[in-house]
Structure 1
C-alpha cells in the first residue's frame, strides 16, 4: 500500500481508531505523559502543536490543565465535527489544520512552536515521507515529544553513529486494520540525527515516550 492510499484510509476512517472512537475513550495515560513532559520543560503559555490530533482528546487534557496556545494537524475532516461536539471550547479556541502533515509542515516558520508532540501518529509516516522528520525538528523551538510504538526495541539514549541514513533496516513494519502499515522506528536515532538532544525516555508495554530539545535549550542537568 503506497503512502497516498494510507492517507486516504486515515482520512475516511470510521469505527475503530476513528475520531468518534478517540472522543469516546477520552484522555488517557498518554495524555498524562505528554502533559508531564510539557510541565517539566515549557511554560503554560507555550505554543503547542499536536501531530494527528484527531478529535482532540490529548489537547483537551492540556487545556484542562492550563495550556492555552494549542494547535493541531489532522487528516480526517470528521474529526473537527466530533471535536466541536465533544470539546467545544477547544474547537473554538484552538488553531487547526485539516491536512496531512506532509502537506502543511513546510508552511510553518522555523521554531514556530515551543513544543510539538505526536501520539501514535509518526509511526504511520511512510519511508518516502521521512523528510518530514527534519521539518519537525526545524519548527520546534524548545521541546519535541514522541509517544510511539517502537516495536521490540529497548529504550536507547544514544543514536547509532555507524548507521546509514534511513534505509530498509531502520524500521520494522506491521499492519493494523485495513492493512495500514505501522513503521516501528528508533525515534531516538531519528531525531538525534536531526541535531536534537534526547532529554527523557521511558518504555511502556506498547509505546515508548521520548522527549527531545535543541542543544541551545538543554541545560547541563538535562544532558
Structure 2
C-alpha cells in the first residue's frame, strides 16, 4: 500500500534504529575508501540522512573535519550526541526533513554530497530535492542506494539517469556486495 509523504516522514522520525545503524562499521570503511579517492580532508562534505553519525564519525576519525549531516530522527540525533560527542561538537548536524533544508543551502557549497540507503526512501512527491542536491554539490556526489527494490517505503530509481540529467557524469560504479548489500548500487558522480 502506498504511503503519503507525511506518513513516510513519520515512519522515519520514529524508526531510525540508531542502535542497529551504529554497528555496521564495514559500510563506513567502504565509503571512506571511495571518499579518499576524490576528496581531500579540508573539503566540505554533506551526508543526507546521517542517522546516528557512524559514517561522519568514520570520516572525522580519518581527518575529514568539514562535515555536515542532515537527519530527520530526533532519537538518532540524540544518540549521535551521546555516542560521538566530539563529532557532535565539531560538526553541523541539522535535525529536519531533507525537504525543508536543501532548498536553503548555497549553490556549490559542498565538495562532496553523499547518501547511503536514504534516497531510496524519498517519496515521489519530493523528487524535486534531486535538483537541489545537484545545485549544492560543487564537485562529487556518491550514492549507495537500492535502485530496483520496491516497498511501501522504498521507491526504485536509476540514480545515473537522474543525476546525469542534472549535469553530472558518472565516473565509477560498483555493488554493495562486499558489505553485504548485494542489491545496492554505488555510484560516484562528478559535476560537469
TM-score over 0.5 (shorter chain): yes
Shift of 1:26: 4.3
Say whether the 8 Å CA contact 1:33–1:209 is kept in structure 2: no
Q: Structure 2 length normalisation: TM-score?
A: 0.92
Deviations 1:70-119 (A, max 9, x none): 11000001112111221111111100111111011011000111110000
- Counterpart secondary structure, 1:184: coil
Corresponding residue of 2:47:
50
Query: Unmatched 5+ residue regions in structure 1?
Result: 152-171, 176-180, 216-223
Shift of 1:207: 1.1
Partner residue of 1:135 out of 132, 137, 140: 132
Distance 1:100 1:47 in 2: 21
26 and 93 in structure 1: CA distance in 2 versus 1, 3 angstrom threshold:
farther
Say whether the 8 Å CA contact 1:188–1:198 is kept in structure 2: yes
- Counterpart secondary structure, 2:151: strand
Shift of 1:28: 2.3
Corresponding residue of 1:183:
155
Corresponding residue of 2:68:
71
- Counterpart secondary structure, 1:198: strand
- Asked if 1:8 is matched to 2:5, the reply is no
Q: Structure 1 length normalisation: TM-score?
A: 0.80
Corresponding residue of 2:184:
207
Partner residue of 1:96 out of 93, 98, 101: 93
- Compute the RMSD of aligned alpha carbons: 1.2
Partner residue of 2:167 out of 195, 204, 207: 195
Distance 2:146 2:31 in 1: 15
Larger Rg over CA atoms: 1
- Counterpart secondary structure, 2:134: helix
- State how many pairs are aligned: 185
Query: Unmatched 5+ residue regions in structure 2?
Result: 177-181
Distance 2:191 2:82 in 1: 37
- Asked if 1:121 is matched to 2:118, the reply is yes
- Counterpart secondary structure, 1:50: strand
Say whether the 8 Å CA contact 1:109–1:139 is kept in structure 2: yes
Shift of 1:33: 2.8
Question: After TM superposition, which residue ranges in structure 1, 4 or more long, deviate above 6 angstroms?
Answer: none
Distance 1:94 1:63 in 2: 9
